[in-house]
Amino acid sequence: MVNYRHLGRSGLKISEITYGNWLTHGSQVENDAATACVRAALDAGISSFDTADVYANTVAEEVLGEALKGERRQSLEIFTKVYWPTGPKGPNDTGLSRKHIMESIDGSLQRLQTDYVDLYQAHRYDHATPLEETMQAFADVVRSGKALYIGVSEWTADQIRAGHALAKDLGFQLVSNQPQYSALWRVIEGEVVPASQELGVSQIVWSPVAQGVLTGKYKPGAQLPAGSRATDEKGGANTIKRFLDQPNVLQRVQDLTPVAQELGLSLAQLAVAWVLQNQNVAAAIIGASRPEQVTENVKASGVEIPAELLTRIDEILGDAVITDPAETAKNSPATR
């Protein structure tokens, strides 16, 4: 079963393996299969579920809401996000303006079939809206009872500091950041993690298996597996391309096999367990297209990787690891 961790400097506990439905529900996976994956997550003790209004242009929220229908709401932690365009993509259908936030939270609640979300997240930083306006809108969302906590996603250390200070002044907590993080993608370690630790902000990390690269299913010199994310033209292929284009990455991943075997883990389980060694990480988000993938990935919960094996992982991956903190800032568009 899955362990739980506090989210930021708050009393809220979430499952350290969190189920997310980006690139799956409403697009890659049929609804029946998506529901089966959610049931597998619940059976494994996962109580935290992450989605966003933009995933499959709102359909992912609908699928998740239907899959969780009938569950005791108090036993779940439901997260969603706001920023990216939804609907007809008009001038106010994106960003973190007060208008977009207030309209988006109501839409998300309706699709998720709930009166509130446990965590409402700014999906990116909005350079076109004053931060004061954004944080005031989030404060009002919290006071209205539509969200219990506020988080962000892919914000830089300076942006997190500024948002945290405004949240404190407005009487609510900024408790989390949702960045990409894996043994291959460590750009948050230099600046974001130290700032977050200081402020009491946790990381809820996405892509702990580096879009599937760290599972070992992509073999050096071999054709891409049929039906894999790397062959998905709906968006999956673009997200994984960066790792596949790096020289020797696939061989280095295969070289991790003895480390995983020593711990009694698969490569995918090793990758998820690795991100959970970082004490600033509250949860690793996993996705799935089949229930058995959920069942396997939750075995990473509670695993402790000895220091000598963490060092060996670093040595094996070597210069394939991306660490530049500047990569975070590239994730938020300069304009809407």
Of 55, 120, 125, 181, which is the active-site residue?
A: 55
Residue 125 among the catalytic residues: no
Instruction: Provide the token pair at 74.
Output: 């108090």
CA separation for the pair 246, 320 (Å, rounded): 7
- The kind and range of the H/E element at 123 are none
Alpha-carbon distances of 139 from 52, 122, 164, rounded to whole Å: 19, 13, 12
Contact at 8 Å (CB) between 120 and 81? yes
Query: Beta-strand (E) ranges in the chain?
Result: 4-6, 13-15, 17-20, 48-50, 77-82, 117-122, 147-152, 174-177, 202-205, 281-286
- The kind and range of the H/E element at 107 are helix 98-112
* Strand pairing category for 281-286 and 202-205: parallel
Q: State the angle between helix axes of 192-199 and 157-170 in degrees (0 to 180), rounded to the nearest 10.
A: 20
Q: Which residues carry out catalysis?
A: 55
